[in-house]
Amino acid sequence: MINGIIYLFKRFSWFKRMNAKVTYELLAKHIPAQDWNFMNYGYNPTPADPASPLDPSTLQLYPTQMYHYLAIKAQIEGKNVLEVGSGRGGGARYIAEKLKPHHYIGMDLAQNAVDLANKNHSLPNLKFIQGSAECIPLADNSIDVVINVESCHAYGSVPKFLSEVKRVLKPGGHFLMVDFRNSQENMTILKNELRDTQMKLIQEENISSNVIQAIEAEDETKRKRIEEKIPKRWQKLFCDFAGVVGSRFHLTLKEGTRTYWRFHLQKAEA
Ligand SMILES: C[S@@+](CC[C@H](N)C(=O)[O-])C[C@H]1O[C@@H](n2cnc3c(N)ncnc32)[C@H](O)[C@@H]1O
């Protein structure tokens, strides 16, 4: 019932903005667990991908791999990187530590998530700030790479976000993004919005099967962690939100009504 109402209201931009803000403020406030640093569904590499540098026992291995396999599409070392929708900061920390950008800014709409990330991930080249994807508080032409992981489905206006990405990127800068849409039609809308930016499309890839494999491989650990960390009365709702095996997210991705894509775009050189 509640899910049905939320689904209907998600047609309205104001509701999408409010829903994202309230949800992620509450999650960061009420579940401050220091060992829960990612909120994406994860990525299992294909044989064509380079070997994963991550230890298989890494906590939240698949969500970390989502960041790794996205970020290696562009040169990160020595660059100024902005992540929009950095959540609890685990991906930002991974990239800032392992891929050695000059400076990495993680930005999120939820102040509680920003505070949590600043508290849990302290590195000299990393900081987290509060801000909206639709009005990025940074100067024009100041960023080499913008990263965006499973976040823009929640924005009131994706075209506004994309015009902000293009504004803050330096000429020749890269935009790396992964996200899902709940229907083929909505994925086509996203692709058209990306095309309308007139940035150069370097690569687009349907990574739904990699995400399904990650969900299935991580299911047992994910359920155990939910049992340990989430109050009993919220566990079922949380299992749906976390996309366990058999959840609506997992099933629709398997059916193919929902798809999950990776995009790499580049702003024109001056
Ligand atoms: C599913 S979580 C993903 C977080 C992180 N990228 C990860 O993979 O762990 C989506 C994040 O996007 C953030 N978000 C939603 N709307 C936003 C907006 N308009 N501007 C900036 N961040 C936003 C949420 O607060 C949340 O932290």
**Residue 42: strand, helix, or coil:** coil
Amino acid found at 192:
N
> What is the helix (H) or strand (E) element at residue 55, kind and residue range?
none
Cα-to-centroid distance, 42 and ligand 1 (Å): 15
Cα-to-centroid distance, 67 and ligand 1 (Å): 14
pTM of the model: 0.95
pLDDT tens sequence across 127-160: 999 999 999 999 999 999 999 999 999 999 999 9
Ligand 1 pocket test: pick from 94, 109, 153 the residue with the most ligand atoms within 8 Å of its Cβ.
Answer: 109
Ligand 1, atom nearest to 66 Cα: 8
Ligand 1, atom 10, residue with closest C-alpha: 151
Helix 208-229, helix 235-242: angle, nearest 10: 160
pLDDT tens sequence across 69-78: 999 999 999 9
Looking at beta carbons, which pairs linking 45-54 to residues 24 or more positions away fall under 8 Å?
45/69, 45/210, 46/210, 53/98
**CA–CA gap between residue 256 and residue 210 (Å, rounded):** 13
Task: Give yes or no for residue 10 having a pLDDT over 80.
Answer: no
Q: What is the 3-state secondary structure (H, E, C) of 222-233?
A: HHHHHHHHCCHH
Please, what are the domains in the chain? 2-31+38-46+56-266 (3.40.50.150)
Kindly list the protein residues whose Cβ atom lies closer than 6 A to any atom of ligand 1.
Answer: 20, 24, 38-40, 84-87, 90-91, 108-110, 113, 132-134, 149-151, 154-155
